[in-house]
Amino acid sequence: MNHLIRPAERADAATIYRFVCELAEFEKALDKVETTEEGLAEAIFGEGSVTGGLIAEIDGKPAGFAVYYFTFSTWQGRNGIYLEDLYVSPEFRGAGLGKALMRAVAEVAVTRNCGRMEWSVLDWNVDAIRVYDGVGGKPQSEWIRYRLEDEALSAFAGQ
């Protein structure tokens, strides 16, 4: 099987949306997906977007994707890159595509002079954790991630 990792294009929005839904289903959170294909297309490929994507193909067929965005570290004084989503369809797992997608995001980070690459993983996703450990990633267990969303975000903002 020949694989290719390539930059995502606006024409890939339907494929990305399908992968987002498959990932959400895998994470037992399909009901949390609020976006649409059009919403993803605008967010990732619209003017001024700091988000990028990659598509993994095997023998010309979409097999997985990664979506990332740029962050900033005041301590390093430069951008970082955050891997928002990484997903490989079940029938293509075990072929090294997850690692290849991660490497491609790392290449973007190095090319853009980013000081770090970060991502999150659900604690029960031991297969992904194994991959992340294998590429040299280190858990940041001293940090607790917080989130404000939806009504709580609006309420806090005074809206």
C-alpha separations of 148 from 28, 50, 155 in Å: 21, 21, 10
Q: For residue 139, which amino acid is it?
A: P
**How many structural domains does the chain have?**
1
Tell me: pLDDT of 1 over 80.
no
Q: What is the set of active-site residues?
A: 132
Q: Would you say 83 and 105 are in contact if contact means Cβ atoms under 8 Å apart?
A: yes
Q: Are strands 117-119 and 78-88 parallel, antiparallel or unpaired?
A: parallel
pLDDT of residue 159: 84
Residue-number span of the structural domain to which 94 is assigned: 3-156
pLDDT of residue 45: 98
> E strands within the chain?
3-7, 51-58, 61-73, 78-88, 117-119
For residues 30 and 88, what is the distance between their CA atoms, to the nearest angstrom? 16
Q: pLDDT per residue over 101-149, tens digit each?
A: 999 999 999 999 999 999 999 999 999 999 999 999 999 999 999 999 9
b/e string for 7-17 if b means 16 or more Cβ within 10 A?
A: ebeeebbebbb
CATH of the domain at 110: 3.40.630.30
Q: Would you say 77 and 40 are in contact if contact means Cβ atoms under 8 Å apart?
A: no
Q: Which of 19-23, 65-69, 82-86, 94-98 has the lowest mean pLDDT?
A: 94-98
For residues 118 and 30, what is the distance between their CA atoms, to the nearest angstrom? 24
Average pLDDT over residues 75-97: 96
Q: pLDDT per residue over 16-59, tens digit each?
A: 999 999 999 999 999 999 999 999 999 999 999 999 999 999 99
